[in-house]
A and B are shown apart, each in its own frame.
Chain A
Amino acid sequence: MKKPDFSKLKDLDVKKAAKDFVYGKPHGERRLGDLYIPKTGLYKHREWRGIKDTMYYFNNIWLYNYGMIVRDLMVYGGGPKGVVQFLKGTWRYRWMGQTYLTVMHWFDRCLEGMRGETLAASAWHFRGIVSACLYQITGFFNRDLNIGGDPALRAKTIGTDETVWGGIIYPYMDQGGYYLPTQMIPYFVTCHCNNHTVLNYIDAAQAYGLPGDPCPMCQAEAGIFIEDDVPDSYVAVVTTNEACDGSVGTSVIQDWMMNKPLFAMPQVMQFDDDTVLENCAKEIEMAWRFIEEQTGLEFHWDELVKHIKLQNEQNRFEREKWDVAANTSNYPINGVAQALYRIFYSQYGERPFWHDVDKRVRKIMEKCVNEDINTFPKTRHRVIAWSCAPLYYSAWCTWAYNCWGLNTIINMDSLMFDLEIRTDTYENCLLDIAKYHEWAPMRRMAVGGLQHIFELWENMEKFNCDMVMMYDQLQCKGMQGVVGLFEDEFRARNIHAIWMPHALPDKRTVPRSQIRQIINDYMFTVMGEEPLDPSLLEFDDIDSW
């Protein structure tokens, strides 16, 4: 047995060690990379952040969230029966049984190195996301005929493509109308939480004859249906074309595999033109009629208005957050929390748990502003992330801050839904809802007309960013179709932009280590900078979640 080496103890600075124990090591001395067990992404031990922040993480994040998961299951699931359904679903569906149990490690990856208010505010965002996931998971399982779910609940439930905005169900919520985006939980969130699962779905689609080159997100979304891994929890389906050709193609497969009444609610691609809104509005009205026909629910205007008003409230707070992010150094939310929370609530629609999170975050943010707390004190560059992000490495911004001081202030997806929906008249409301649909993920700025992609420049200025993390989704035809124009513009505008290649959910195409290497190379060779934490430059996390 190897003898312990006590020689280092001689050089130990006791005072410094005590200070580090109490307050945590300062950024630059942490060596977070040393905590990893090679390949797995597991920790030899979790990070010691000083007494206060470690205990906050343990009590208010780790213990609290494990506890709240059980609480959510009971509340959203409707008591012990919900727990039974949850266990049955966990055993039946790979995306549940193999994926979501690892949820606290998603927190770990995204919150590494965070301290104080930043740690708290970012963690609250994740709490909101997890609550929303459980709301949907219990929603799926309680209605799922495959595992003995309740047919009466299913009869009032509409499945949708995940890019159909959840507001489609607002007019029916007081009657038990329920909306289940068919891919959001079985596919989209899994990639962030545990990217092992999604590979099965991509492989299933390709084994069935799909070529390897279409967008892997759409492949996976087809794969979950081919693999028979989707609950039978809804009576009919509303699908859409957002945001690309691949999404249309996926709908064809899904329609076949679901074999249920399906209403297509495609949205126009060239949305700038006001003449197209009327078309979208009519399609939305037709979708409502379809829902009513399939579920027997009635359209309640007051219910629609109630939820839209609450959603507008959320959007107003988002703008306040952006204002703080753009103009101060007091913004307490890290890049990944900002991005995932925003896209999730904007897409899924207004629900009570979001307001609870917003209330808590507002308090923290106000404290930061009032006390002028520098929330990311080691910021060297303010980064805007543009185009579609790697789902299997959404935590890259946490790594980039810890390693290089690259602070991701805002990203493209967050900016898409910036619309206050009018509720003064039915007509105005409908037109705004149509516009909201048109501005959906990857639509407004990625494929909805070239000019919107270049809104990057004005947003760089608005958010005071000096660097661009340019996501390079290798299989997104829309974005690949403009890479040269971006190169030209970056050169002409003398902008530091790092191209980050990836394949959305599929880590096999560009591993996370390669993404880090690309950023490292740029920072060393082009920026001429040295890392804040050299232990994070290279580490092997190939098999991690």
Chain B
Amino acid sequence: MKAMKIVKKTLGIAGLAYAGLFCVFYFDLDGKLLYYVVEPFMKNHFDNMKRRDPHTVPYEQIEHEYMK
């Protein structure tokens, strides 16, 4: 009886999760989250990231065995 209850509960939760996911899918909620929240946040992060100054990269001759 208890096992049946657990199974039922599990199935119920799984069913709800499935229905919830379907709503996310159908109403493009994943897209809306990414477009309005995640991407602007990440963009802001990358725009303000400290990056190497390309002017500091050396430009000298590299001599290697393969060049001979």
Contacts and interface: CB of A to CB of B under 8 A. Distances in A.
| Contact flag (A, B; Cβ within 8 A) | yes
Interface of A: 40, 42-46, 58, 62-63, 91, 94, 97-98, 101-102, 104-105, 108, 196, 200, 208, 226-229, 256-257, 259, 261-263, 286, 289-290, 293-294, 545
Contact of B21 (A63, A256, A259): A63
Contact of A196 (B32, B39, B45, B66): B39
Determine which residue in B28, B45, B59 has the highest number of CB atoms from chain A within 10 A of its CB, and name it: B28
Contacts of A43: 28, 31
Interface size class of B (residues with CB under 8 A): 20 to 34
B45 A46 contact: no
B58 to A, nearest CB: 6
Interface string B19-37: 0011001111011101100
Interface in B23-68: 25-28, 30-32, 34-35, 38-39, 42-43, 45-46, 51-52, 54, 57-59, 62, 64-66
30 contacts: A42-B28, A44-B27, A45-B28, A58-B22, A63-B21, A94-B42, A94-B46, A97-B45, A97-B46, A98-B42, A102-B31, A102-B39, A104-B31, A105-B31, A105-B34, A227-B51, A228-B51, A228-B54, A256-B57, A256-B59, A257-B57, A259-B59, A259-B62, A261-B62, A261-B64, A261-B66, A289-B66, A293-B65, A293-B66, A545-B35
Contacts, number: 77
A513 to B, nearest CB: 18
Contacts of A262: 62
Secondary structure call for the A interface: helix
A104 B66 CA distance: 44
Q: Which 9 A-B pairs have the closest CB atoms?
A: A94-B46, A43-B28, A228-B52, A228-B51, A97-B42, A290-B66, A98-B42, A42-B31, A45-B27
Nearest to B33: A101
Nearest to A102: B34
Given A105-B34, A196-B39, 17 more contacts: A42-B28, A42-B31, A43-B31, A44-B27, A45-B28, A98-B42, A98-B43, A98-B46, A101-B34, A104-B30, A200-B46, A208-B54, A228-B54, A259-B58, A259-B59, A261-B64, A294-B66
Nearest to A93: B46
Nearest to A261: B64
Contact of B66 (A45, A105, A263): A263
Given A94-B46, A97-B42, A104-B30, A259 B57 contact: yes
B43 A62 contact: no
Contacts of A294: 66
B35 A42 contact: yes
A97 B30 CA distance: 16
Nearest to B32: A42
Nearest to B31: A42
B38 A101 contact: yes
